Structure 1
Amino acid sequence: MIYDKVSSLIGNTPLLELPVAAPNARFLLKIEKNNPGGSMKDRMARSMVLAAIRDGRLGKGGTIVESSSGNTGIGLAIVAAEMGFRFIAVVDHHAAPDKLAVMRALGAELKFVEGDYAEDEVAVVERQQTAARLATEIPGAIFMNQSDNPANPEGYKGFVEELLVQTDGKVDAFCGCTGTGGSLSGIAKYLKQHNADIVTIGVEPKGSIIFGQPGHPYYQSGTGTPKGDEVGLILDYDVIDIGTQVGDAEAFETARYIAENTGLLIGGSSGGAIYTALEYLHSGRISGTVVCSVADGGEKYLHSVFNRDWLAERDLLSSAVWQQMAEWMPVHHPYKTDAELFEEVA
């Protein structure tokens, strides 16, 4: 098909099956990095803007203001550019530099929050307060407030519709990152409408407070709720069967393992979701067809997650994670082990 606007490219992302050692199991990745903004947040960005237009909260030539660690901002920047809106992204030092560069390239205005924050400390509260204030000061502006915006989870109905078609409706478990809770709550809601027995797993970084654990700083970007912030109103605990945590080292080393053994670059938080899904699958706590969303791509984290020096300086390298991944997801490289095939290629 030939489309006439970029937002029409959102959705219809493919599935990739990865090998797993668990018997009678399928492990599928929904490659959300294939959305035009490089993440699944494109879905909810479009949903929130369209809802604001329908409700009369956003008029022609208006201004969109949002607090973002990057991916939501990129999605909103795409929709704003396409529809002729001004977009201001309120960000902090925790956002990946490449994400900030993409937003700028798309015409977004960046507003950095003030304050003295540690490198692994997310300034979500200050971002939210700044975005809300700016929206009241600028005529015709609206604060999207993704954490409390019901149009956020509604944006993932299409994700589930696509997934059910791609799998012939055969999904036994879904595992995804938990930030605002929009994607997880929306996907879990619509999956359970299809089959209430589908197990849904929400994964947050160790240090996040979503599932009741003590808060402390963490390096995973765009996921979790840091200490001092409040869990968003859109997070629906009723549709989440399991809430669990994953460490930064497990998340980042899984992303690197996937890259070096499959050729797929994924973001660090997606690495955490994959590590958790494989852990639950191989322990027998879930079974059958397990789906994990690749929330965004590793191209945005080349200077952090995929930089050995950066990881080493923060004590985030772990050979144990690589060994575990090799057991859970053994990868056969024919051109590395079969001399005849090697000669054919040569």
Structure 2
Amino acid sequence: MLCSTIGQLIGYTPVMTIPVPNSDATLALKIEKNNPGGSMKDRMARSMVIAALEDGRLAPGGTIVESSSGNTGIGLALAAQEFGLRFIAVVDHHAAPDKIRTMRALGAEIRFVEGDFREDEVAVVERQRLAAQLGAQLPGALFMNQSDNPANPDGYAGFVDELLVQFPRGIDAFVGCVGTGGSMTGIARRLKRHNPRIRTIAVEPAGSIVFGKPGHAYYQSGTGTPAGDEVGKVLDYTCIDEGVQVTDTQAFETARHVARHHGLLVGGSTGGTIYKALEFIASGRLSGTVVTVVADGGEKYLGSIFDDDWMHKRGLLDPAIGEQLEFWLSGMACAA
């Protein structure tokens, strides 16, 4: 296919399957890191911009403002280029430095929130406040507010359409991460419409408050809802069969394992969904074709979760998780 705009490169991402021994399941990874901005968020970012232009909330030549830990911001930077708009990304210290560099390279203006925050504390509330303020004060500006924007989940219609073509015999379960709830809602709702028997499992970081557990700090980026913030209005709990939590260590060790044993660099939230998908398969709670998403690539986290010193200093290394993964994926215990 010949493309003339960056937006036309979004979607049609491939799938990589991983057999799971001693089970009747296959784990299928949809490689959303192959989108031009490197994540699944390219889909919903473009969807939100198109919707805002069509209904007049955003005028040609206007300014997009959004709070982002990086991936949505990169997607919005691409959409701003495509449609001739200005983009201001409001970020905090929790955003991966390479994501901020990528947004700048694509022409985004970066605004950091002020405040004294712990390294593992996500400053979402302050980010949202500043983004809303800029959207209200700047002429021709619009705060996209992805957490409450109905065009967020609508942006994943193409993702589901592609899955249904890639798996003509159907899929049995979908395991996805949940932050604002946009991707999980958009995907799970459409899968359920196609086949109500498809199991949908939503994964949040331990410390996130999406499913009512006590909140505390966590290192996983771009996923979950931290204490003090509100769960996004786009999240539809009725299309989710089960919500579960994954620890930073489980998520990050799984991402490292997938890189070293399957040659695929994935981000931390993807490591978390892969870990929980395998846990569900191993316990017999999921079977058949189980799909999860490579939401973004590990290339953005080479200085953090793929760096031994960074992991060690934060107490996030745990060889036992690698042994568990080796058992699940090879059917053999890892040598001591």
In the superposition, the TM-score normalised over structure 2's length comes to 0.98
Corresponding residue number in structure 2 for 1:340: none
CA distance in 2, matches of 1:331, 1:70: 37
- Hey, what's the Cα distance between the residues in 2 that align with 1:166 and 1:9? 18
> What is the Cα deviation at residue 25 of structure 1?
1.3
Rg (Cα) greater in structure: 1
What secondary structure does 1:217 align onto?
coil
1:174 pairs with 2:174: yes
Q: Which amino acid aligns with 1:218?
A: Y
- 1:238 & 1:145 partners in 2: Cα distance? 22
Deviations 1:85-140, CA, capped at 9 Å, x for gaps = 00000000000000000000000000000100000000000000100000111110
Deviation of 1:24 (Å): 1.9
Indicate conservation of the 8 Å contact 1:208/1:224, yes or no: yes
CA contact (8 A) 2:30 2:294 kept: yes
Q: Report how far residue 19 of structure 1 moved.
A: 2.5
Give the secondary-structure state (helix, strand or coil) at the position aligned to 1:42: helix
Looking at structure 2, the residues matched to 21 and 91 of structure 1 have their Cα atoms a distance apart, in angstroms, of 42
1:266-292 residue CA offsets vs partner (Å, 9 max, x unmatched): 001100000000000110111111001
Instruction: Give per-residue Cα distances to partners, 1:53-84, cap 9 Å, x unaligned.
Output: 11101111000000000000000000101211
Q: Which residue of 2 aligns with 1:97?
A: 97
* Pairing of 1:125-136 with structure 2 (within 5 A): 125-136=125-136
Divergent runs of 4+, >6 A:
none
Query: Within 2, Cα distance between the matches of 1:22 and 1:190?
Result: 31
Give the residue type in structure 2 aligned to 1:316. L
Q: 1:305 to 1:331 in 2, by over 3 A?
A: farther
8 A contact 1:255–1:271 mirrored in 2: yes
**What is the aligned-residue identity percentage?**
66
Q: Which residue pairs with 1:6 in the alignment?
A: 6
Partner of 2:68: 68
**Equivalent residue, structure 1, for 2:192:** 192
CA apart distance, 1:22: 3.8
Structure 1 residue 317 corresponds to structure 2 residue 289:
no
Q: Name the counterpart of 2:25.
A: 25
Say whether the 8 Å CA contact 2:25–2:286 is kept in structure 1.
no
2:21/2:331 contact within 8 Å kept: no
Partner SS for 2:116: coil
For residues 161-310 of structure 1, the aligned pairs below 5 Å read 161-310=161-310
Alpha-carbon separation, structure 2, partners of 1:156 and 1:329: 29
* CA gap 1:239/1:247 in 2 versus in 1, 3 angstroms: same
Separation in structure 1 between the aligned mates of residue 161 and residue 331 of structure 2, nearest angstrom: 30
Contact 1:19/1:330 (<8 A) preserved: no
| Cα contact 1:21–1:282 (8 A) shared by 2 | no
Which range moves more in the overlay, 108-117 or 22-31?
22-31
Are the counterparts in 1 of residues 267 and 296 from structure 2 also a CA contact under 8 Å? yes
Work out the CA distance in 2 between the residues paired with 1:43 and 1:330.
34
Q: Which amino acid aligns with 2:185?
A: S
Find the aligned partners of 1:148 and 1:120 in 2 and give their Cα distance: 25
| Pairwise CA distance, 1:166 | 0.1
Aligned to 2:118: 118
Change (3 A) 1:73 1:328: same
Partner Cα distance (1:47, 1:2) in 2: 21
Residue 156 (structure 1) aligns with: 156
Structure 2 residue ranges without an equivalent (≥5): none
Distance in 1 of aligned mates of 2:328 and 2:170: 22
Structure 1: runs of 5+ lacking an equivalent: 333-346
Residue 300 of structure 1: SS of its match in structure 2? helix
User: Quick one: distance in 2 between partners of 1:239 and 1:307?
Assistant: 37
CA distance in 2, matches of 1:290, 1:206: 22
Distance 1:5 1:145 in 2: 25
Q: CA shift at 1:329, angstroms? A: 1.1
Q: Find the residue that maps to 1:57 and give its secondary structure.
A: coil
- State the superposition RMSD in angstroms: 1.0
Q: Which amino acid aligns with 2:152?
A: N
2:143 aligns with: 143
